[in-house]
């Protein structure tokens, strides 16, 4: 009788089996699989093979906080390994008492705090990283490191990045062939450097040095000025002419899988993307223009108003959102305009949202996900409107604990009746809701990566099994506001990723140029 493999699943797709085998052979890989294809199963499969061949005796899974319990449940359900969540109070004491778990699941922030501490010299000068207690516990293990949503490591100057670079550097001293797997659907958050930063952690030997990368990819610098003309920063001008050259360097370490690939496409429901442009009603427009006017002084010159951009986005979303705003400018506006006035100004977008939701939820009995960037202001204003409209509602936001978020998502998925999952972007990464047939961006994400994460929370490889035949994705945009500029900027940013991954030549792939055309057509329809 054959021994049961460490990783096992009732249904593993052929392309997943191929990915597991190739990823295992690579050892250090960036798995750039479209959201919903099964990156977690890829990671568990590679982990299982590495355990079976005695190449590792531990897997370290680093993820977003709201994915802790999902990873724990997946390893319990689909492997014979023993998982342990390293998070929360007394975590080290619990780890020591756990008798060497096979899989340690933690967050980016917790592993940062416990893997590297800053040491300052006697004179106060010189800052170095020394090993933290969590890292010390890994030295007598032979681990494999998996970064879920590795775009968290896209900023090379952040303390988060430096701590994880230290962790990997120390582990490689003991094991130069350390296995590292990065999982993401969107490696280019804002520019090509975010991809480079992730890849150099995963496989530093393959990537060029920082100086060589900058010489290759930066052709100049532009000055960023304040409204008064003061230079406040410099930003690189990226050399797109050499992007293909950099893509060739990265290609051998990339595992790429698209929903549109011939061996994947039939497993997914149809996905439709649309934009709805909403006109401001007179009272809403009056308030928005009043706040927008703060950008000019009495002489008509532009002035720097800290926080104005964020406040304008909140006002565009819902005038009542200012009542929950924590910024100094929001609080000053509430004090100056009055809470009663702000509560009385109708939200053009909220009314349009309710008009869209009523037939879906109360009529069709659909499950709908609604995402907003502002989890502590717009979300609460929308909650009131949805409650008043008697639309069943489940909340998911960053103010909830990891356990509360997990239970909210599972409760939404298991409901037999229709409902709306109202989520902040704190819940956009990592959650899986294949039972939802509609996804709504209440306001557009700032980057195409963020938009992709939102839109694909419902478009999963298990969606058809849940009875979903199509997923409709809608982005609401308030005309005449800052939201129009954000949409245009977001759509242009994806061209770099298309080129880096070769997606602009993929069969049935919708390129960045195609998306801009789709939005421009939707914009024209909104005017007729």
Task: Please state which of the ranges 308-317, 338-347, 395-404 shows the lowest mean pLDDT.
Answer: 395-404
Kindly report, as residue ranges, where domains of CATH 3.40.50.10810 are found in the chain.
14-208+244-257
Residues 6+ apart with CB under 8 A from 23: 29, 31, 42, 45, 46, 181, 255
The bridge status of strand 103-107 relative to strand 254-257 is unpaired
In CATH terms, 265-279+346-477 corresponds, of 3.60.15.10, 3.40.50.300, 3.40.50.10070, 2.70.50.60, to 3.40.50.300
388 against 454, higher pLDDT = 388
CA distances from 322 to 344, 374, 434 (A): 12, 11, 33
Residues 6+ apart with CB under 8 A from 126: 120
pLDDT at position 523: 47
**Is the model's pLDDT at 289 over the cut of 90?**
yes
pLDDT band at 522 (very low <50, low <70, confident <90, very high): very low
What is the rounded average pLDDT for all residues in the chain? Answer: 88
Domain 14-208+244-257 fold is Rossmann fold (3.40.50)
pLDDT at position 224: 79
Q: What share of the chain has pLDDT > 70, as a percent? A: 89
Task: Please state which of the ranges 36-50, 287-301, 377-391 shows the lowest mean pLDDT.
Answer: 287-301
**Is the model's pLDDT at 342 over the cut of 70?**
yes
413 burial class (0-12, 13-18, 19+ CB within 10 angstroms)? middle
CA 260, chain centre distance (Å): 21
Q: What is the pLDDT of residues 239-282, one digit of tens each?
A: 989 999 999 999 999 999 988 888 988 888 888 888 899 999 99
pLDDT band at 120 (very low <50, low <70, confident <90, very high): low
Q: What share of the chain has pLDDT > 90, as a percent? A: 64
Nearest CA to 322 out of 296, 351, 347 is that of 347
Q: What is the pLDDT of residues 439-461, one digit of tens each?
A: 999 998 877 777 878 888 888 88
**Is the model's pLDDT at 288 over the cut of 90?**
yes
Length of the chain: 528
Kindly report, as residue ranges, where domains of CATH 3.40.50.300 are found in the chain.
265-279+346-477
The residue whose two tokens read 């990873």 is 71
pLDDT at position 1: 39
Strand partners, 32: 184, 256
205 against 123, higher pLDDT = 205
Can you tell me the mean pLDDT for 310-334?
93
> How far, in Å, CA of 134 to CA of 91, rounded?
10
Residues 6+ apart with CB under 8 A from 73: none
First to last CA, the chain: 70
Calculated CA dihedral for residues 28, 181, 62, 13, nearest 10 degrees: -160
**Is the model's pLDDT at 404 over the cut of 60?**
yes
Q: For the packed helices 308-317 and 328-337, what is the interaxial angle rounded to 10 degrees?
A: 60
Range with top average pLDDT, 140-154, 399-413, 487-501: 140-154
């Amino acid at each position: 009788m054959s021994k049961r493999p460490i990783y096992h699943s009732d249904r593993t797709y052929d392309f997943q089996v191929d990915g597991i085998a190739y990823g295992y052979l690579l050892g250090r890989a960036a798995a750039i699989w479209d959201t919903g294809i099964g990156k977690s199963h890829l990671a568990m499969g590679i982990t299982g093979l590495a355990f079976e061949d005695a190449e590792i005796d531990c897997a370290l899974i680093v993820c977003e906080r709201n994915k802790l319990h999902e990873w724990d449940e997946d390893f319990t359900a689909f492997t014979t390994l023993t998982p342990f969540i390293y998070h929360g109070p007394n975590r080290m004491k619990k780890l020591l008492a756990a008798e060497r778990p096979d899989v340690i699941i933690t967050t980016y922030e917790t592993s940062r705090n416990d893997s590297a501490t800053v040491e300052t010299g006697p004179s106060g000068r010189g800052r170095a990283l020394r090993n933290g207690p969590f890292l010390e516990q890994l030295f007598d293990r032979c681990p494999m490191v998996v970064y879920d949503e590795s775009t968290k490591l896209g900023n090379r100057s952040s303390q988060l990045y430096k701590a994880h670079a230290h962790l990997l550097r120390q582990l490689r001293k003991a094991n130069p062939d350390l296995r590292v797997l990065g999982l993401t659907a969107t490696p280019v958050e804002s520019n090509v450097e975010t991809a480079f930063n992730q890849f150099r952690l995963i496989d530093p030997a393959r990537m060029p040095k920082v100086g060589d990368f900058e010489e290759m990819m930066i052709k100049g610098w532009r000055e960023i000025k304040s409204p008064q003309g003061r230079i406040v920063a410099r930003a690189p001008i990226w050399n797109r002419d050499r992007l293909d050259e950099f893509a060739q360097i990265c290609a051998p370490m990339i595992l790429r899988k698209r929903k549109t690939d011939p061996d994947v496409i039939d497993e997914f429901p149809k996905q439709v993307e649309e934009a709805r442009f909403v006109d401001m009603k007179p009272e809403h427009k009056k308030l928005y223009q009043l706040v927008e006017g703060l950008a000019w002084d009495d002489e008509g010159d532009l002035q720097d108003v800290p926080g104005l951009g964020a406040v304008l986005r909140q006002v565009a979303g819902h005038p009542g959102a200012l009542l929950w705003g924590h910024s100094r400018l929001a609080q000053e506006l509430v004090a100056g305009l009055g809470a009663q006035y702000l509560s009385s100004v109708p939200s053009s977008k909220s009314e349009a949202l309710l008009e869209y939701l009523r037939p879906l939820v109360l009529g069709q009995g659909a499950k709908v996900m609604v995402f907003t960037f502002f989890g502590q202001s717009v979300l609460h204003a929308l909650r009131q409107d949805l409650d008043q409209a008697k639309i069943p509602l489940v909340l998911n936001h960053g103010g909830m604990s990891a356990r509360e978020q997990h239970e909210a998502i599972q409760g939404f998925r298991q409901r037999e009746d229709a409902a709306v999952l109202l989520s902040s972007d704190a819940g956009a990464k990592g959650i899986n809701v294949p039972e939802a047939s509609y996804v709504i961006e209440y306001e557009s994400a700032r980057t195409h990566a963020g938009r992709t994460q939102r839109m694909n929370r419902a478009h999963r490889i298990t969606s058809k099994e849940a009875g979903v035949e199509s997923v409709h994705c809608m982005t609401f945009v308030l005309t005449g506001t800052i939201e129009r500029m954000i949409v245009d900027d977001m759509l242009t940013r994806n061209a770099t990723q298309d080129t880096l991954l070769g997606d602009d030549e993929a069969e049935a792939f919708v390129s960045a140029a195609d998306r801009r055309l789709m939005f421009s057509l939707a914009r024209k329809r909104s005017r007729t």
